[in-house]
Copies of this chain bind each other. A is one copy, B any other.
Amino acid sequence: MRRDVFQAIADPTRREIINMIAHHPLNVNAVAENFEVSRTAIYKHIKMLTECGLVVITQFGRERYCEARLEGLTEVADWVEQYRKIWTERFDNLENYLDELETKKKRSVRKK
């Protein structure tokens, strides 16, 4: 199934899982042990992370190691970055527009 990275990182538990395996792989049970919820619940989160490519699972014996593949986060990084100019230079870019709206507002208020 094709999954959305934005959706994948929306859940705080999944973000925690990512953080947990970001530096070194862990098997499924090891990940699950760090949470209150059931192993099955964590397994589903992991599965979703694999479906959007943020995690890869490799089997060794009866264990399966979850490894972070965070390249997919570039999609998020790029999306956010396109707006950085806007929120850092907002006053330069929108001052005129806001002034205009402000004027409109005052006119409106006067009419009341």
Contact = CB atoms under 8 A, between A and B. Distances in A.
Interface in A32-77: 58-61, 65, 67-71, 73-74, 76-77
A70 B83 contact: yes
Interface residues of A, number: 41
Contacts of A67: 94, 98
Interface in A73-89: 73-74, 76-77, 79-81, 83-84, 86-87
A6 interface: yes
Interface string A74-112: 101101110110110000011001100100110010000
26 contacts: A6-B9, A6-B12, A7-B10, A9-B10, A9-B79, A18-B83, A22-B83, A22-B86, A23-B93, A23-B94, A24-B94, A24-B97, A25-B101, A59-B105, A60-B101, A65-B101, A67-B94, A68-B86, A70-B83, A70-B87, A71-B87, A74-B87, A77-B77, A77-B80, A77-B81, A77-B84
